[in-house]
Chain A
Amino acid sequence: MINFDEELEKFQPSLEVEQAEDVINNNDLTDVTDILKEFLKGNKDNN
């Protein structure tokens, strides 16, 4: 059976157009390649 209150809590407000700028600015864009670069840079410094 569906627990309506639990289901309702899963729904989050949708982003409005006025909030788009904040979303873009605060987006965490770190990816694996960034980590790899850091790793490679660390190795080079150690050598």
Chain B
Amino acid sequence: MICPNCGSNMSDKRKRCERCSTDITIYKKVLRTSNLYYNNALTKAKVRDLSGAIVALQKSLDLNKLNTSSRNLLGLIYYELGETVAALSEWVISKHFQPVNNDADEYISKVQSNLTKLDSLNQAIKKYNLALGLAKQGSDDLAIIHLKKVVTLNVNFIRAYQLLSLLLIKTGDAARAKKYLQKVIKIDVSNTTTLRYLKELEIASTTKDLDGNPEAEPIGGISNTIVPISSYREDKPNVMAFVSLVIGIVIGLAFMAFLIIPTIKNNSSNSNDSSDYTDSGYSLAQIQEMNNTNTALQKDKTDLEKQLSDLQKQIDTAPAPEDNSQIYDSLINATELYFVEKDKAASEQDFMPIADLLSGVDDTKLKLDSAVTLLNQLREATYPSVASLHYDNGHDLYGSGKYDEALVELMKAATLDPTNVDALYFTARAYHKLGDNENAVKYYNMVITDFPDSSRVHDSKDYLKQVQK
């Protein structure tokens, strides 16, 4: 024991301090009383008289603030009642007075280790404060909603239960208020507020009952447990059961007559008539074989369809055969015309349409040698005179300055008679006059190269120089 006056250690049995001679009888009595209150509080806490325990512990601490056991127990009780902050405060103060060998360490660390739980408890407190504000403003419904959430977040929050019950009583929901108050009673059996509300509810219930309200039920629901006993009556034979049985039998017989028996008969006749009866194993083998055949046929069909498709594509993409009859028609027509013109006088002969027809015939597409021979003969007979006519026309047009028209005629002349160097020369000249130097050079060169002995070569070379300057 420590002397309150000088702070020196002293024996518990002594009444005076050996060092400062201070009488510590009262001091020792105060400490004993504080411990007495602690013991009293512990007893109450063990039977869940938490409100009573709080009062005793507060007295104990008023006497001796250094009573660590009292303070720690007070913190535990606060925590049990949902007063988290009050609990933490007590444990922190306890640790302040007794830094070592203190159970408060364990309590604080347990609370702080589960941050989720701590956050949930703090949320419950905030919502409770919000609900209290709403209730004071008259928004009972909103407050009730918030408080219901609070009691789910912190199931031991006594004050929240009490406020919720009060608001429920106010709104007329006595049953739920009672339910919540009974939860509170399980946590703290002697909470005066809870007991007062419960008593009010009981009084209200009794008053209703006395007023003759048939819906009012006495506390405990005794009416539900009492069942009136009916008088004894002997069971009469149940006629309806017998009738139902007869109807069931009739329906069953009808079902057999119309559905089952015809089916059996049909199966029987089928089995008698079937001469090619085979066992199920054989039938399965046959089915399997047929399936295989079917698969093979399907495959063949697919292949054939593919072949058909390919052939159709080949037909579609193949070049269409030339219409030989048209080629030979042109040749025949040209021949007929030639004979017509040949019978005419030389001055009246016009081989130009014949040359036009022949120029449209493609030598390479003629299959018959005789046709090719005929074509060549006709060309030899007609082309030089027609070429000469075209040249004359072209030369006249060139002379009159119609170079475009002259070119057409001169080109025809050169095509029909490739030996006509004049036609080539004037073609080059016409291009030269038209300013088409590229073609002019081409035709001048043809004159110079293909007909080196021609009289047109000298002029062609001169003009070629002019063009190439």
Taking Cβ atoms with an 8 Å cutoff, the residues of A that contact B are 1-2, 4, 7-8, 10-11, 13-17, 19-20, 23-24, 27, 29-34, 36-37, 40-41, 44
Contact = CB atoms under 8 A, between A and B. Distances in A.
A13 B121 CA distance: 14
Contacts of A4: 166, 169-170
Interface string B128-142: 110010011000000
27 contacts: A2-B166, A2-B169, A4-B169, A11-B159, A11-B162, A11-B163, A14-B125, A14-B128, A14-B129, A16-B126, A17-B121, A20-B88, A20-B92, A23-B85, A23-B89, A24-B89, A24-B92, A31-B61, A31-B62, A31-B63, A31-B64, A33-B4, A33-B63, A33-B64, A36-B27, A37-B5, A40-B4
A42 B394 CA distance: 155
A28 B92 CA distance: 14
Contacts of A11: 132, 135, 159, 162-163
A8 B135 contact: yes
Interface of B: 4-5, 20, 22, 26-27, 30-31, 61-66, 83-86, 88-89, 92-93, 118, 121-122, 125-126, 128-129, 132, 135-136, 159, 162-163, 166, 169-170, 193, 196-197, 200
B129 A8 contact: no
Contacts of B63: 31-33
Contacts of B93: 24, 27, 29
A8 B166 CA distance: 8
Contact of B27 (A2, A30, A33, A41): A33
Contacts of A14: 83, 85, 125, 128-129, 159
A19 to B, nearest CB: 7
Nearest to A4: B170
Contacts of B92: 20, 24
Contacts of B169: 2, 4
Contacts of A44: 5, 20, 22
Given A24-B92, A36-B27, A13 B129 contact: yes
From A15, A29, A34, A40, name the one whose CB has the most chain B CB atoms within 10 angstroms: A40
B125 A16 contact: yes
Nearest to A31: B65
A17 B30 contact: no
A17 B125 contact: yes
A44 B83 CA distance: 43
Main secondary structure of the interface of B (DSSP, over half): helix
Contacts of B126: 16
A29 B62 CA distance: 8
Contact of B30 (A10, A24, A36): A36
Contact of B89 (A27, A33, A37, A41): A27
A16 B163 CA distance: 18
A1 B66 CA distance: 43
Given A14-B83, A14-B159, A16-B122, 9 more contacts: A2-B200, A11-B159, A14-B85, A15-B89, A15-B125, A16-B85, A17-B121, A29-B65, A40-B4
Given A37-B4, A40-B22, A1 B200 contact: yes
Contacts of A24: 89, 92-93
Contacts of A1: 200
B122 A17 contact: yes
Nearest to A38: B4
Nearest to B21: A44
Contacts of A8: 135-136, 163, 166
A32 B30 contact: yes
Contacts of B66: 33
